[in-house]
Amino acid sequence: MSAAMQQATVPAGRARPGKTWSAQLSRRTAVLMVAPLVLAVLLLVVYPIFKLLYDSLTQGDGPGNYVEAVSSKAIRRAFVLTLLNSAAVTVLSLGLGAVLAWTLRLARRRLVTALVWAVVLLPFWMGVVVKNYAFALLLARDGLVNTALRALGIVDEPVQLLYTPWAVIAGMTYTMIPYAVLALYPSMSAVDLELLNASQGLGASRSRAFRSVLLPLVLPGVIAATAIVFAISIGFYVTPVLLGGAQTPFIATVVGDDIFTFFNYPRAAAASVLLLAIALAAIGTAAKAVGFKSLRGGLG
Amino acid sequence: MKNNMSARRRAGAGLAAAAAAAVLLLTAACGGKTSAGAGSGSSKSEDKGPLVVASWGSTTTESMRKYLAEPFTKETGIEIKIVDAPGKYAAGVQSQSRAGKIQWDILDAASAPDAYALHAQGLLEPLPADLKQKLSKILVDGAVKDFGYSYSALGYIVGCQEQRVASCPDAQQYFDAKAYPGRRQMIATSPMVNLSLAELANGVAPKDLGTHEINMDRAFAKLKELKPDVKVWWQSSDQSQQTIRNGEVDLGILYSGRIYLLKEQGTPVKPVWKGGLYNPGYMAVVKGSQHKDAAFRFLQWIAEHPEAQAGWASGTRNSVPNPKSFDTMTPQLRESLADWPANREVLANINYDWYVKNLDEVNRRWQEFLRG
């Protein structure tokens, strides 16, 4: 009550000295403010990762865990499937994501941009089970896709779509498109269209303008998006299980088997570390190519 | 310091136990009416529990509460607490035993591989000899083991979508994809079921399967032959229903209860019991239970109350071991249960003793087969 009265007595538009708003924080305040976050990262990210690394080298057969993991046919096949499918997902989501991001750059009408943003962000906000279940319904033998294919006379017998790598790629691409768009959009929205017009005015063909002007401008965004989409893709668990079935294992699936079914924790740790190393290598390569700044920009 | 403290605490606990034992001895000596033998009525009623029962959740937990636990508490005054721990029995008992703090007294229908493995590790209380003898007389043949008795049995049997499968094979003919064409499904998470079925198809007599040592090379070869026709390896019983319903597969090896559930929900599925496998669950008491006698008393009570079992079966659709319980069931219900004589006599037993001994090897080769 008294505080409110006091506030009211302060003349409008005149701040009291020493209480100005400033972009500069004192060192002490800054350290204090990031401390909880640093603590959380140390506790929830750094510690578990080091523990994982340590366990993978000391439990079970020690370094032999890695030999065991790599010599297992199931794990090798899971690695191959994980990497190939993730590469396919990366290419598809980047291709489709680029079209969407460029549309967002060019579209003038609010309705169009709003619609495209909605299409991009809706799957982003949907629960993972809902998304995958929708795909399971669409791709089932008596699902919409098979019904349409048969009605159009493209196939006579329903084809198996569900529980194949193709179903996994479709479901994952749908999930990853928003990431691709969000990573591509910053670099695309920064492109000055006059540059393209100027190059064509100077005699470049449309494809030359694309190659020599647009592509170099958006390349950092493309590399960032590739790394991000690929690194997230190789860690997928739910989609391969639900849409790929037992026959299309991802590394995460096999790690899950080892932990929950076979209680082979050391081998699970070794396989996880290998997967993590691949993800880090992808991000690291991209960072080296375009700098962490573009990567960060890509992540929003 | 920490060690010191726990040592002291242990010493304290030892003293307390000694004191308790002394008091018990005194009361026994003075009262003089304590009788030996489990479950001999009111004289054992000092231990009021609460008994902690680990159960499977959903309908199993509800039925355990409604048909077994509540009537038992009403009759004996022994309280029962049910905790849901689906699929976590073995891991739970192992970690409780390691921690030296047993929290569960009873496992409600532990899966056979879990029960055999825990028994082999010495983590289950053996049935007292007199109780074992009593139970053997009232339950179906083969139900009573050293560590408990079969409860909540199911069959792994063939189910065919009748509109899509002209003639439905039995479980051995199931491996002949030429004579019995159709898209198949089998369980992904239980290697022993698939290996056992393969061995039957390889010519092992059903009556010998329970003691037969699986020839893994031969069994995996048989499964490999069939693999192109197995379109789905199901990972949950809900999935096995869904794939039949949405036409992903035409026939498969399913839990018997799920086939009848599909039928009730309007999918035309035909169950074929012949050549299938008997899949028991086990009621067992956890080693180190603080309420061991009361726990065995509950197990005995369940075994001796066929009408309670019939109620439980109507709630869960799984089978019960007291043959008298069939008398109070509807014909539809009892004919869908694995212990119903017409079904039981065509089901083969799985050699779980062998599985427990070869667990790592079987699981490893299974993963290579399925994922590789």
pTM reported for the whole predicted model: 0.80
Name the minimum distance, in Å, from the CA of A123 to any CA of chain B. Answer: 24
- Report the percentage of chain B scoring pLDDT > 90: 79
**Where does residue B183 rank: exposed (0-12), middle (13-18), buried (19+ CB within 10 A)?**
buried
Tell me which chain B residues have a C-beta less than 8 angstroms from the C-beta of A143.
246
- At residue A43, the pLDDT reads 95
Cβ(A165)–Cβ(A248) under 8 Å? Answer: yes
pLDDT value, residue B9:
44
- Residue B6: its pLDDT value, please? 44
pLDDT at residue B251 is higher than 90: yes
> B215-245 as b/e, with b when 16 or more CB fall inside 10 Å?
ebeebbebbeebeebbbbbbbeeebbbbbbb
- Which amino acid is it at A153? G
Third-level CATH fold of B154-279+352-371: D-Maltodextrin-Binding Protein; domain 2 (3.40.190)
**Is there a contact between B363 and A261 if contact means CB atoms under 8 Å apart?**
yes
Of residues A295 and B166, the one with the higher pLDDT is B166
Look at residue B39 and tell me whether its pLDDT is greater than 50: no
Closest Cβ opposite residue B232 in set A241, A245, A257: A245
Short-list B270, B365, B267, B258, CA closest to B318: B258
Residue B24, pLDDT score: 44
Backbone angles phi, psi at A298, to 5 degrees: -65, -35
Q: Which residues have a Cβ under 8 Å from the Cβ of A30 and sit 6 or more positions away?
A: none
- Which pLDDT does position A18 carry in this prediction? 60
pLDDT at position A290 is 81
Tell whether domain A51-188+219-298 is in CATH 3.40.190.10.
no
Decide if A246 and B188 are in contact by the 8 Å CB cutoff. yes
Please name the member of A74, A160, A262 whose beta carbon is closest to the beta carbon of B372.
A74
Closest by Cβ to A77, choosing from B232, B246, B371: B371
Identify the bridge partners of residue A246 per DSSP, sorted by sequence position: none
- Beta strands at B106-111 and B269-285: parallel, antiparallel or unpaired: antiparallel
Q: What is the pLDDT of residue A299?
A: 57
Residues A109, A110, A113, A115, CA torsion sign? negative
Q: How far apart are the first and last CA of chain A?
A: 43
Reduce the DSSP state of residue A231 to 3 states and report it.
Answer: helix
Mean pLDDT of chain B: 88
At the top level of CATH, the class of B46-152+281-343 is alpha beta
pLDDT at B3 over 80: no
According to the model, what pLDDT value does residue B235 have? 87
Average pLDDT over residues B335-349: 96
pLDDT recorded at residue A142 = 85
Q: Residue A95: name the closest of A283, A230, A282, A226 by CA.
A: A226
| C-alpha torsion angle, residues B226, B231, B236, B239 (rounded to 10) | -140
Task: Pick out chain A residues at pLDDT < 50.
Answer: 1-6, 8, 10, 300
Q: Domain boundaries in chain B? A: 46-152+281-343, 154-279+352-371
Q: What pLDDT, on a 0 to 100 scale, did the predictor assign at position A5?
A: 47
- Determine the Cα–Cα distance for residues B183 and B202; give it in Å rounded to an integer: 21
- Planar angle of CA B145, B354, B88, nearest 5 degrees: 65
Phi and psi, residue A59, nearest 5°: -80, 170
Q: What is the pLDDT of residue B7?
A: 43
Residue B22 buriedness (CB in 10 A; 0-12 / 13-18 / 19+): exposed
A163: left (phi over 0), alpha (psi -120 to 50) or beta: left
d(CA B294, CA B73) in angstroms, rounded, equals 11
Cβ neighbours of A73 in B, within 8 Å: 368, 371-372
Domain boundaries, chain A: 51-188+219-298
The SS3 assignment for A89 reads helix
B363/A74 touch (CB, cutoff 8 Å), yes or no: no
What tokens were used for B135?
Answer: 């139970």
Closest chain A C-alpha to B55 CA, distance in angstroms: 19
Determine contact, residues B293/B47, Cβ cutoff 8 Å: yes
Q: In the prediction, which pLDDT does A294 show? A: 66
- The whole-angstrom distance between residue A206's C-alpha and the CA centroid of its chain comes to 32
Angstrom distance (rounded) from CA B4 to CA A206: 82
What is the token pair recorded at B76?
A: 């004996």
Burial class from Cβ neighbours inside 10 Å (0-12, 13-18, 19+) for residue B47 reads: middle
pLDDT digits (tens, 9 = 90+) for B188-247: 989 999 999 999 999 999 999 999 999 999 999 999 999 999 999 998 888 899 999 988
Whose CA is closest to B110, among B86, B131, B83, B94?
B86
ipTM > 0.90, yes or no:
no
Residue B34: its pLDDT value, please? 38
The answer to whether residues B298 and B125 touch, using CB atoms and an 8 Å cutoff, is: no
**CB–CB contacts below 8 A, A to B:** 56
* DSSP sequence for A261-280: IS--HHHHHHHHHHHHHHHH
Residue of A nearest to B359 (CA): A262
**Set of chain B residues whose Cβ sits within 8 Å of the Cβ of A77:** 371-372
Residue indicated by tokens 């192992």: B94
Shortest Cα–Cα distance, A52 to chain B (Å): 21
Same fold? B46-152+281-343, B154-279+352-371: yes
Mean pLDDT value of segment B20-25? 45
pLDDT reported for residue B22: 46
pLDDT at residue number A296: 67
Residue given tokens 């508490």 in the structure block: B73
